[in-house]
Amino acid sequence: MNAVTIDPRLLDDCHLLGQLASGAVLLNRNAALHWFILVPNTTLGDILDLPVAERDAVIADCAALSAFLKSALGYRKTNFAGLGNVVAQMHLHIIGRNAGDVCWPQPVWGNLPAVHAGDGHHTTEQLLDMQSQLAATLGLVPAALA
């Protein structure tokens, strides 16, 4: 699979952390919880349209991100979704959840607290640490942080 151009709307909401085998890994800018987005290296719009081998690779990377959320970051549950109603480019959400988090038990969409400049965002140090951990555990090829 070849890397694709990421929809600017995803990049507006997220930090590009780097590349896994199947696609780009983004992290939502809101630091209230850890919300990864995997953007597969494809121009197809739905995960169920992928050839079996590619679909398996994408699901494997999503499962690895889910395991990372649980083992490295202490989340008890992950939510997994592929919607694409607003951004048509295929992208898959892998979100760490704990009972009592800022949105619990509601979904994160529309329920995360608003963040303001300098407040509620991941620091550069946190992003670099996240890249380092993902590189060591999942083989992430880090991207330059913007």
Domain boundaries, the chain: 8-140
Residues 109-133 have pLDDT tens digits of: 999 988 766 678 899 999 999 999 9
Report yes or no: 14 and 37 within 8 Å, Cβ to Cβ. Answer: yes
* Dihedral-angle region of residue 87 (phi above 0 means left; psi in -120 to 50 means alpha; beta otherwise): beta
User: DSSP letters of 62-91?
Assistant: HHHHHHHHHHTT--SEEEEE---SS--S--
pLDDT at residue number 139: 98
Q: How far apart are CA 60 and CA 114, in angstroms?
A: 32
Q: What is the mean pLDDT of residues 79-83?
A: 94
State percent of the chain over pLDDT 70.
97
CATH homologous superfamily of 8-140: HIT-like (3.30.428.10)
Convert the pLDDT of each residue in 6-36 to its tens digit: 999 999 999 999 999 999 999 999 999 999 9
% of the chain with per-residue pLDDT over 90: 86
Whether residue 60 is predicted with pLDDT greater than 90 in this model: the reply is yes
- pLDDT (mean) for 74-86: 94
Is the model's pLDDT at 101 over the cut of 80? yes
Enter the pTM of the model: 0.95
